[in-house]
Structures are given as C-alpha cells and as structure tokens.
Chains A and B, each alone.
Chain A
Amino acid sequence: GNSVTQMEGPVTLSEEAFLTINCTYTATGYPSLFWYVQYPGEGLQLLLKATKADDKGSNKGFEATYRKETTSFHLEKGSVQVSDSAVYFCALSERGYQKVTFGTGTKLQVIP
C-alpha cells in the first residue's frame, strides 16, 4: 500500500535559518504529492503540491521538488520566520483513488 515517511521532529531553528524537512514515499503508481501545514489549534491547509516528476511546488517561500528517482519530496525554505512555527505534513494521493495518505507530521519551532 501507499505510505509516507517524514523525518521526526520537533525541529527547532533560529529565525532566518535554512529549513529542510525530509519526506519519502512509497506508491504503486504515479501519485500527486503535497505539503500541508497545521498552525496551533487549527485544521490543516495546503501549503504546496506537485503532480508529476520534476515538478516544483512553491508557496510562501517554501519549495519542494518531486523526485521520482529517489521517491522524495523534501520541503525547504531559505530563511524561516517565527510565524512558520507549525506542524508540517507530507502527503500523497494516487489517481483513481479517493484517499490521501499523510505522514506523521514534523513539528517546527522557530525561535527569535
């Protein structure tokens, strides 16, 4: 079956530091890949997505590239802010299936 593996957190960074959150996946077909973000006490919201190999999703300074050869979709940001503190979820869905599979989430804390 499909699965998503994320690096364990929490990740603590100083403001303006570089961020990488690793994500790898297992899928039988050609999935779409997503990063969702959850701010404290809220539901999840889509941060970015990529639908095919070598696509780069980007939003709010975050980027992730769909790497089929390494089955990865790592999240990066060049300079994090305190307001980026949240839980980040990597996810996938396959065409023809009505489900989205999520990773376990990585908590990011950015300190001033």
Chain B
Amino acid sequence: SQTIHQWPATLVQPVGSPLSLECTVEGTSNPNLYWYRQAAGRGLQLLFYSIGIGQISSEVPQNLSASRPQDRQFILSSKKLLLSDSGFYLCAWSGTPVNEKLFFGSGTQLSVL
C-alpha cells in the first residue's frame, strides 16, 4: 500500500534561517506531488506541484522554492525565512489523473520567531 512521510512534525526557526522540509512517498511510481500551506484563518493554499522529476510549478511567488530530485521525493526550501512563512505545511500526492483523490502527509507545524 502507498504511504507518505513528511518530516519534521514541528519546527521552530529564527527569522533569516534556512528551511528544508522533506516529503517521500512509498508504494507508487510517478506520483503528482504537492506542497500546501495552511496559515491561521486562511485555508489551504497550493504552493508548488510537480508532475515529474525536476518539473516544478509554482503557484504563489514568494520566499520559498521546491525541488524533486527523485521520483518520490519532494523538498520545500527557503534560504531565509520570514515571519510570514509560519504555518502548517502539508505534502500530498496523487495518481494521474488528479481528479480522483489526494493523499496527505501529517504536516509540519513551522513557527518562525
């Protein structure tokens, strides 16, 4: 069966520090991969998605970047965190086509202080 792993679960970082969140999927190949952010009172915002290795689509211009170095690995990064980067980050995957179901990881609560 397919599983999705996301870590760390909680992260507290100072303003200006770098960020690296990792997400891996097991039990499937060539998944679509997604990074969402859930900020307090603002719902779920799509940040990046990828339909293949090295293929990244950015939905919101900002301080963050994403990479997909392997088929089932998706990384969210920042060189310098801002206070506004605080939030709950969710990784998700889907098969193709996407209009079936998204499978979410358990999320990372990021606090930038």
Interface of A toward B, CB cutoff 8 Å: 31-32, 34, 36, 41-46, 49, 51, 89, 93-105
Interface residues on B, range: 20 to 34
A-B pair number, CB within 8 angstroms:
63
Whether B98 and A100, one on each chain, are in contact in the complex, defined by CB atoms closer than 8 angstroms, is yes
Grouping DSSP codes into helix (H, G, I), strand (E, B) and loop, the A interface class, with mixed when no group exceeds half, is loop
Q: Which residue of A is nearest B46, CB measured?
A: A99
Separation in Å of the B7 CB from the closest CB of chain A? 13
Whether B98 and A93, one on each chain, are in contact in the complex, defined by CB atoms closer than 8 angstroms, is yes
Which residues in A have their C-beta under 8 angstroms from that of B27?
Answer: none
A–B complex contacts, Cβ < 8 Å, 15 sampled: A34-B101, A43-B104, A44-B44, A51-B99, A89-B44, A98-B49, A98-B98, A99-B46, A99-B49, A100-B46, A100-B94, A100-B102, A102-B43, A102-B44, A105-B43
The digit string for B79-109, where 1 denotes a CB below 8 A from any CB of A, is 0000000000010101011111110111100
Whether A104 and B104, one on each chain, are in contact in the complex, defined by CB atoms closer than 8 angstroms, is no
Q: Which residue of A is nearest B97, CB measured?
A: A95
Which residues in B have their C-beta under 8 angstroms from that of A34?
Answer: 101
A2 and B6 alpha carbons, distance in the complex (Å):
28
A34 and B51 alpha carbons, distance in the complex (Å):
21
Which residues in A have their C-beta under 8 angstroms from that of B97?
Answer: 95-96, 98
B32 contacts partner chain A, Cβ-Cβ < 8 Å = yes
